[in-house]
Amino acid sequence: MNERANERLRLENDLRRALPLEQLHLVYQPQVELASGRIVGVEALIRWQHPELGLISPVKFIPVAEDTGLVSAIGEWVLHSACAQQRQWQQDYGIALRMAVNLSPVQLQQNDIVSMVNHIVSEVGMNPEYLELEITEGVLMGSDEQVKVDLYKLSLSGIQIALDDFGTGYSSLRYISQLDIHKIKIDRTFIHDLTENSQNASIVSAIVAMAKNLGITLLAEGIETREVAELLARLGCQEGQGYLYDRPLSPEAIERLLEKEAAGQASPT
């Protein structure tokens, strides 16, 4: 236990310096339209390249960032970098990708979240409709009214709100109807064995029916096989993301995809 406490303390200390020392970077995982396989957006995912410990997963360091309050500064950096990148890609390739950015519940407790997001969007000059903020159900559970008001204000400026990891929390239908949710991301745990697990297939069908009636777009996370992708499309899920299409990629790798896409648009042969 002592060892674990020490490791945690070290992460905490090192994380304080990670941002100024430029050890954090973003990778981007493509999101595709299932029917065509066309890339419609990317999700920005943070990575920490530690000088001694190597690459550290966000699963490990985001909780530390949340406990220490560092997540505010880190989250702001993520948002700024991702938005600037979206704008740059649109300028360079003429392709407007939707940029999905994960928000920590702790960030949403900040009282200036609305002005912070709006400020970044206008500073980088991006169209707010291409920004999608991913929140988890945990954000909504037991949160005060202010969080809901803030999310509503953000959606008024055209920003899209996506509910991440859907199905793993309370999956409260009340929140979905109360809030202006644009997209539901079905958690990977329901998707990975979809073709063999009829119970999960029934759950996904029910989510599809609900989303359709509410006018919410559905995206399936963690698609790893063609069979699962085909089944999802048949069930009526519109979008997907997963290793079948691409792993989270460097900006350079995304640029190669965009080059191809732009060339295809210029000469449709």
Nearer to ligand C2E, 102 or 200 (CB): 102
- Residue 91 CB, shortest distance to ligand C2E, in Å, is 23
Residues 9-38, mask of contacts with Mg ion (x by CB under 5 A): ------------------------------
Sorted by sequence, the CB contacts under 8 Å of residue 143 that are 6+ apart come out as: 105, 108, 109
Half-sphere exposure of 212 (CA within 13 A, CB side): 10
Among 11, 34, 70, 78, binds ligand C2E (CB under 6 A): 78
Ordered DSSP codes for 59-75: HHHHHHHHHHTTHHHHH
Residues 21-50, mask of contacts with ligand C2E (x by CB under 6 A): --------x---------------xx----
Is residue 150 at the binding interface for Mg ion, with CB under 5 A as the rule?
no
Owner of token pair 């997907």: 240
Residues 158, 159, 162, CA angle at the centre, nearest 5°? 135
Distances (CA, A) of 216 to 97, 183, 191, 226: 19, 5, 19, 24
Is residue 170 at the binding interface for ligand C2E, with CB under 6 A as the rule?
no
Query: In one letter, which amino acid is 153?
Result: K
167 binds, among ligand C2E, Mg ion, none (CB under 5 to 8 A by kind): none
**H helices of the chain, where?**
2-18, 58-68, 71-93, 105-109, 113-124, 137-140, 145-156, 173-178, 188-191, 198-214, 226-235, 251-266
- Residue 190 CB, shortest distance to Mg ion, in Å, is 11
- Residue 1 CB, shortest distance to Mg ion, in Å, is 30
With b for 16 or more beta-carbon neighbours within 10 A and e for fewer, the 20-48 pattern comes to eeebbebbbbbbbebeeeebebbbbbbbb
150 binds, among ligand C2E, Mg ion, none (CB under 5 to 8 A by kind): none
How many Å from the N-terminal Cα to the C-terminal Cα in the chain?
62
The rounded distance, in Å, linking the Cα atoms of 18 and 20 is 6
Q: How many residues in the shown chain lie near ligand C2E by CB under 6 A?
A: 23
Please list every residue from 247 through 266 that binds ligand C2E, using CB under 6 A. Answer: 248
Please list every residue from 101 through 120 that binds ligand C2E, using CB under 6 A. Answer: 102, 104
Nearer to ligand C2E, 93 or 190 (CB): 190
Please list every residue from 48 through 87 that binds Mg ion, using CB under 5 A. Answer: none
Among 85, 102, 104, 241, binds Mg ion (CB under 5 A): 102
Residues engaged in binding ligand C2E (CB under 6 A)? 29, 45-46, 57-59, 62, 75, 78, 102, 104, 134, 164-165, 188, 221-224, 241-243, 248
Residues engaged in binding Mg ion (CB under 5 A)? 102, 134, 164-165, 221
